[in-house]
């Protein structure tokens, strides 16, 4: 284990089990719907890949890339759209797939932008929810795990573009 990793918070096995459960729940909830999944890059891509394999329904897929962290461990509070979706989501059911909801600022901005395109519904599936740092009131309909206020890496989450490849969620000793 890397010296900056303090502990494994959520194991590979726990992640696999929860992703499977989310896939079953989403497949039931969106059966016979016209679902468009919008993955928030880069962090949610690993979660998305496993979640897609756990779904038993057809979906459309699109990507959005946002930035509020830059190369810092702390959000700047300013959300920039680096890459926008290309799908027409009007009158479609949309599910945002996010790696982690921290302050809620990024997700709140994204939801506002997507709602302006008049989807039939807009919900969120986040692998991790960190409510202790929330500054924006935000609803997350599907949550993988609720975590304490610590800096985590792995399973797509990074620090300065590193650690995304870890197969688990780990607490890092990176200071805020």
pLDDT of residue 90 exceeding 80, the answer is: yes
> Would you name the residues annotated as active-site residues?
102
Class of the 11-150 domain?
alpha beta
Copy the structure tokens of residue 174: 């990176």
Q: What is the pLDDT of residues 97-153, one digit of tens each?
A: 999 999 999 899 999 999 999 999 999 999 999 999 899 999 999 999 999 999 999
Q: Are 128 and 141 in contact (CB under 8 A)?
A: no
Give, for 25, the enclosing helix (H) or strand (E): helix 12-29
For the chain, the domains span 11-150
Q: What percent of the chain has pLDDT over 90?
A: 78
Pick the closest to residue 69 from 111, 41, 96 (CA basis).
Answer: 41
- Sign for the pseudo-dihedral over CA of 42, 43, 49, 55: negative
| Cis status of the peptide bond prior to 84, with omega within 30 of 0 | no
């Amino acid at each position: 284990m890397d010296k900056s990793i303090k502990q494994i918070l959520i194991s590979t096995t726990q992640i696999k089990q929860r992703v499977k459960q989310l896939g079953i729940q989403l497949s039931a909830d969106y059966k016979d719907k016209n679902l468009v999944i919008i993955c928030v890059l880069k962090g949610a891509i690993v979660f998305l890949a496993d979640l897609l394999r756990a779904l038993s329904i057809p979906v459309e897929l699109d990507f959005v890339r946002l930035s509020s962290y830059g190369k810092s461990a702390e959000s700047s509070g300013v959300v920039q759209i680096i890459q926008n979706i290309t799908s027409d989501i009007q009158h479609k059911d949309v599910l945002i797939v996010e790696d982690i909801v921290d302050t809620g600022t990024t997700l709140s901005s994204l939801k506002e932008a997507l709602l302006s395109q008049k989807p039939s519904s807009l919900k969120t599936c986040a692998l991790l929810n960190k409510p202790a740092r929330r500054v924006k009131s935000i609803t997350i309909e599907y949550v993988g795990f609720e975590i304490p206020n610590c800096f985590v890496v792995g399973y797509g989450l990074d620090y300065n573009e590193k650690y995304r490849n870890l197969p688990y969620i780990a607490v890092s000793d990176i200071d805020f």
